[in-house]
Amino acid sequence: MKEKLGAGLRKQGSPYSDTECEDIIRKLEAMLDGDQDVTQDKDFMEKVNNCEYCLEQYEIEKSFKELVKAKLRGLVVSNSLIQSIKSKLSLHRD
C-alpha cells in the first residue's frame, strides 16, 4: 500500500531542488546558531545574500528559533529547592 508522508504545504518560487533547499535550511540554522563553519563559508554567505528565497527562509528560521526560546522560558525555581540544596550543602560544612 502507498501512504503519503510529508505531503502538503510548499511555497511557490524556490529556485532550488528539494535536496538543495534542505541543505540551505540546514546551513541557515547553523548560521543562526553561530556555527563558524557556516559563517566563514564565503560562497554560502554570498549565495544567501544574493538570493531572495534564501533571505526569506533565513527570516523563517530566525523567527522559529526566537519563538521556541520565547515560549519555553519563564519557569520559576522554587525557593524551597534553593534552600533545600543550600541546607544540605551547609550540613557538609559542619
Partner 1 sequence: MIPDETMSPAEKAEIDAFFESEMMVHIRPLYHFAFRLTNDEDDANDLVQDTFLKAYRFIKSFERGSNAKAWLFRILKNSFINNYRKNSKEPSQIDYEEAENFLNTGISSWSESIDLRDKLFRGLVGDEITNALNLLPVDFKTVIILCDIEEFSYEEIAKITDIPVGTVRSRLHRARKLLKDQLAEYARKMGYSTEDELVDIPALETEIE
Q: What is the per-residue binding string for partner 1 in 35-74, x denoting contact by CB under 8 A?
A: x--------------------xx-xx--xxx-xxx-xxxx
Q: What φ, ψ does residue 7 adopt, rounded to 5°?
A: -80, 160
Report the amino acid identity of residue 39. T
Task: Confirm or reject binding of residue 26 to partner 1 (CB under 8 A).
Answer: yes
CA distance 51 to 83: 54
Number of residues that bind partner 1 (CB under 8 A): 50
CA distance 55 to 6: 24
Which DSSP helix (H) or strand (E) runs through 55?
A: helix 52-72
Binding residues vs partner 1 (CB under 8 A): 1-12, 14, 18-19, 21-22, 25-26, 29-30, 33-35, 56-57, 59-60, 63-65, 67-69, 71-75, 77-78, 81-82, 84-86, 88-89, 92-93
